[in-house]
Chain A
Amino acid sequence: MTATLTPEKKNGSHKELSPELLLQMHDTMVKARVLEERLITMYKQGDGYFWIGGPGEEAFGVPLGMLVQKGHGPEYDYLHLHYRGSPTIMAMGADPVDSLRQMKNTASDPYSRGRNFCCHYSIEKWNVVPVSSPIEVQYSMAPGTALANKRALGGKGTGITIVTGGDAGTAEGDFATCLIWSSRKGHELPVLIIVTNNLYGISTPYEGQHGETKISDRGKPFGMQTLTVDGNDPEVSYQALAAAMDYVRTERKPFLLEVMVSRLYGHSSASGANFVANETDCLAKFEQKLIDRKLITRERADTIRATYNQELLDASKKVREEPQPKPESIWDHVFADTAGNGAPKGSS
């Protein structure tokens, strides 16, 4: 399957990205990649029970995080991510050490206090809705936050809802729910519906599971703007995301964006979490491009990587020593109106 910008979008494309922006993007991509590799190592060394994440999606996820209108409440963007969202969260400015904490399920894990798998982010102050395991449910919730976005500031807000998920998951009814609820005539919702297509659902290839030519085509009968782009090229991704977001922010209507990405370490630790050599490595490709354009040297790129590597290696050693959650903390936060251990325990 080839991934291209559709011609109409190419013509209307934005101006070139500045060198500063490209270097910032590169830096964050490295940070996100090093984070994922550290998480995988932690898993392999027994410092975590399970790994799943987004290595190979940095060229899409980082631009997404950079373009988010970050803040709290419906004037800002809501993010309904799946478990490959680390590049986006890093680009939004999260501390990678917190991801290590979730990997090690420590009490200090700010996303779930040791309750959830790694890369299952929840950041209320930035409108990052809790990532949950059931595939596709985020597509059913997204119209709800999008309706709040639409109402914000008396209808004059620019906040939007962004939802991401994989290709295989689009077979779930929740994907259709999102298309239907966001495109009702006269009630259109400002939601950027993103599908990251890595051509697999765990072990099942894309081939043989889809009747539609492109997943993005599924938006067409709903009158949606749609686009399929190469998510392995951060410049293309950035431009496509910027254009799609701009449309959703100003038109207050949905946009379906399909992004072709790589799955660089397989599905998860359940499939070994080993580097997959025949997938495009967006970071290596981008780095070479920046070197060719003389925006960065090989040495500088290597230094950036080595620095993040050392930082996260040191941090992982510290995180290892942080306390695990207390057994009695299972009763915390069952209900929002009975604080801490005052929560009704057991059956009453």
Chain B
Amino acid sequence: MATMVQAIRMALHVGEERHGVTDVFGEDIGPPLGGAFTQTQGIKTSWNSPLDERGIVGMAIGLALAGQRPVAEIQFCDYAFNTIDLLKLAGAMHWSSAGDWKCPMVLMTPVGAGIRGSIYHSHSFDAQATRLAGWKIVCPSNPRDAYGLMLSAIVDPNPVMYLMPKALLRVKGRPGEEVPGEPGDDKALSKMIDQPPGGDRSKWRPEWPKLEDLFIPIGKASIVRPGKHVTIVTYGRDVLMALGAAEEAAKDGTDVEVIDLRSLHPYDWDAIKTSVKKTNRVIFVNEDTEITNFGEHLLRRTVEELFYELHAPPKLVAGKHVPGIGLADSLEHASVPQKATILAAIRETAAHVP
């Protein structure tokens, strides 16, 4: 079973072989490293850019305007903050020109905590990203979705931001989360597509499995655990956290439905609505700081449109509004949602008597 990072790599390979990707670039994206997380090893069109995030976004926009298909990377989303006006520009290109120009680019960037990244390798980007009208925003939680969302992002005619949950990059999929065409054996896959560390990397070439196309539609959520009593709406790293909490809650007889949004924008309101109408209780979970949080928007809409469906106050479990995520385990755990925090929220919501 592939890991998420292998899945991304395979999607980029399929993207450049079959779907017109012309450039995969960013800091340390080309040989010899192939990405800080190995996500671009063996990609033919990969190249190393100057260490200039604004330049990376500008280059991607220019390439996209001129009919190329770029996939650019910001090495950590923590370093995307100084590109915000260029991101706005990409999102505005089609609208401000009243449909004259298109800007089909993919911007991928690792997000979130969970790798002991301290203050500047643990940020989330959800709130900033979802404020960029004109962009589509996706965030996978497993290798299959990572593969299928990347391919959808690549063929999309709009700018698409691809948020990679750092903590999940090396996590293998569960049954049913395979990349279509990957060999069943992990070791065989690793031998084929993982660049051996050290030595002369310039001679290494990957041997790609026969991969099939898979397009996970942007804007469609997935119900990763059906349940009757409480809905959790989340994405990325917190999908696994929520599933863990749901297993615990099941032991006391609380049946939790977990929705993996997969796309933050456009998002699958129908999936949320259907689930809330069924369970009447909902918790939104994400890692970003809680003030002006994307989950707050979902919560607001829930209150406005589903008020009379609710049997308990809807909840937001999010990161603490502090400037960074501290390095020590104790600090990180106190800053972003953990299984225990989510479980406590489930219990409170489930126990609420209207």
Residues of A within 8 A of B (CB): 73-74, 78, 110-113, 115-116, 122-124, 129-130, 132, 134, 137, 139-149, 151, 161, 173-174, 177, 180-181, 184, 332-337, 344, 347-348
Chain B residues with CB under 8 Å of A140's CB are: 54-55, 57-59, 61, 86
Residues of A within 8 A of B60 (CB): 144
In the bound complex, CA of A161 to CA of B65 (Å) = 12
- Nearest CB on A from B295, distance (A): 13
Determine whether the beta carbon of A142 is less than 8 Å from that of B92. Answer: no
Q: What residues of B have a CB within 8 angstroms of the CB of A73 in the complex?
A: 66-67
Which residues of B are interface residues toward A (Cβ below 8 A)?
Answer: 23, 49-50, 52, 54-55, 57-68, 70, 85-86, 89, 92-102, 104, 133-134, 136, 156-158, 219, 266-269, 297, 301
Q: Which residues of B contact A161 (CB under 8 A)?
A: 62
Evaluate whether A74 and B67 lie within 8 angstroms (CB atoms) in the complex, with A130-B93, A140-B54, A148-B62 already known: yes
CB–CB A337/B156 < 8 A:
yes
- Across the interface, which residues of B come within 8 angstroms of A129, CB to CB? 65, 101
- Which 3 pairs from chain A and chain B are nearest by CB? A144-B62, A140-B58, A148-B66
CA distance A161 to B66 in the complex (A): 11
Residues of A within 8 A of B99 (CB): 332-333, 336
What are 9 residue pairs bridging A and B, where the CB atoms are less than 8 Å apart in the complex? A112-B96, A122-B100, A130-B97, A132-B89, A134-B85, A137-B58, A140-B55, A140-B86, A337-B156
Q: Which residue of A lies closest to B97 (CB)?
A: A122
CA distance A142 to B57 in the complex (A): 11
Residue of chain A at shortest CB distance from B268: A348
Q: How far is the CB of A101 from chain B (nearest CB, A)?
A: 12
B158 to A336, Cβ gap below 8 A? yes
Known A-B contacts A144-B58, A144-B59, A147-B62; the reply to A113 vs B67 at CB < 8 A is no
A335: chain B residues at CB < 8 Å are 94, 134, 136, 157-158
Residue with the highest number of chain A CB atoms closer than 10 Å, among B59, B89, B157, B219: B59
Residues of A within 8 A of B67 (CB): 73-74, 148
Q: B55 contacts A337, CB within 8 Å?
A: no
Bound CA span A121–B266, Å:
29
Closest chain B residue to A78 by CB distance? B66
Question: For residue B93, which residues in chain A have a CB less than 8 angstroms away from its CB?
Answer: 130
Q: Are B157 and A144 in contact (CB under 8 A)?
A: no
Shortest Cβ distance from A169 into chain B, in angstroms?
A: 13
The complex places the Cα of A184 from the Cα of B48 at a distance, in Å, of 11
Q: Which residue of B lies closest to A161 (CB)?
A: B62
Q: Answer whether A143 and B136 are a contact pair too, CB < 8 Å, given A337-B158, A347-B297.
A: no
Q: Determine whether the beta carbon of B98 is less than 8 Å from that of A180.
A: no
9 more CB-based (< 8 A) A-B contacts, given A111-B97, A122-B100, A148-B68: A129-B101, A130-B93, A140-B54, A142-B58, A144-B61, A144-B64, A177-B54, A344-B219, A347-B301
Q: Which residues of B contact A336 (CB under 8 A)?
A: 94, 99, 102, 104, 157-158
For B66, give the chain A residue with the smallest CB separation: A148
A-B contact count (CB 8 A): 148
Are A132 and B65 interface neighbours, CB within 8 A? no
Determine whether the beta carbon of B134 is less than 8 Å from that of A132. Answer: no
Residues of A with C-beta under 8 A to B85: 134, 137
A140 to B60, CA, bound (A): 10
Residues from chain A with Cβ under 8 Å of B50 in the complex: 180-181, 184
Cβ–Cβ < 8 Å partners of B98 in chain A? 110-113, 115, 122, 332-333
CA distance A78 to B93 in the complex (A): 15
CB pair A147–B68 under 8 Å, yes or no, is yes
- Cβ contacts under 8 Å, A173 to chain B: 54
Q: Is A333 in contact with B58, judged by CB distance below 8 angstroms?
A: no
Q: Chain A's nearest CB lies how many Å from the CB of B221?
A: 11
B301 touches A337 (CB 8 A): no
Contacting pair A148 B266 (CB below 8 A):
no
How far in angstroms is the closest Cβ of chain A from B95? Answer: 5
Residues of A within 8 A of B86 (CB): 137, 140
In the bound complex, residues from chain A placing their C-beta under 8 Å from that of B219 are 344
In the bound assembly, the distance between CA atoms of A113 and B100 in angstroms comes to 10
Complex CA gap A134/B269 in Å reads 34
Q: Shortest CB–CB separation between residue A261 and chain B, in angstroms?
A: 25
Q: Nearest chain A CB to B151's CB is how many angstroms away?
A: 15
From B64, which residue of chain A is reached at the shortest CB distance?
Answer: A144
Q: How far is the CA of A73 from the CA of B68 in the complex (A)?
A: 10
Contacts of A332 in B (CB 8 A): 95, 98-99
Complex Cα distance A129/B55, Å? 17
Which of B57, B66, B101 is packed against the most chain A CB atoms within 10 Å?
B66
CA distance A139 to B156 in the complex (A): 26
Whose C-beta in chain A lies nearest to the C-beta of B47?
A187
Nearest residue, chain B, Cβ from A148: B66
- In angstroms, Cα B100 to Cα A149, docked, is 20
Q: Which residue of A lies closest to B83 (CB)?
A: A140
Residues from chain B with a CB closer than 8 A to the CB of A116 are 96
The CA of A132 and the CA of B88, in the complex, are separated in Å by 11
Nearest A-chain residue to B70, judged by Cβ: A144
Chain A residues, CB < 8 A from B55? 140, 143, 177, 180-181
| Closest-CB distance, B22 to chain A (whole angstroms) | 8
Chain B: CB-nearest residue to A344: B266
Partner pick for B95 among A123, A141, A334, CB 8 A cutoff: A334
Is A334 a contact partner of B66 (Cβ separation < 8 A)? no
Contact present for B92 and A132 (CB under 8 Å): yes
Q: Once the chains are docked, how many angstroms separate the CA of A91 from the CA of B268?
A: 48
Known contacts A124-B101, A177-B52, A344-B266: A115-B96 contact under CB 8 Å: yes
Output the least CB separation between A100 and chain B (Å): 17
Chain B residues, CB < 8 A from A146 = 62
Closest A residue by C-beta to B57: A140
A333 touches B158 (CB 8 A): no
CB-defined contacts of B65 to chain A, threshold 8 Å? 78, 129, 141, 144-145
Are the CB atoms of B68 and A141 closer together than 8 Å? no
In the bound complex, CA of A332 to CA of B133 (Å): 12
Cα-based distance from A86 to B65 in the complex (angstroms) = 22
Among B52, B104, B136, the most chain A Cβ lie within 10 Å of the Cβ of B52
Q: Which residues of B contact A145 (CB under 8 A)?
A: 62-63, 65-66
Q: Do B62 and A132 touch (CB < 8 A)? A: no
B175 shortest CB reach to chain A, Å: 31
Contact (Cβ within 8 A) A137 B297: no
Contact B58 A174 (CB under 8 A): yes
Q: Collect the chain A residues with CB atoms within 8 Å of residue B95's CB.
A: 115, 332-334
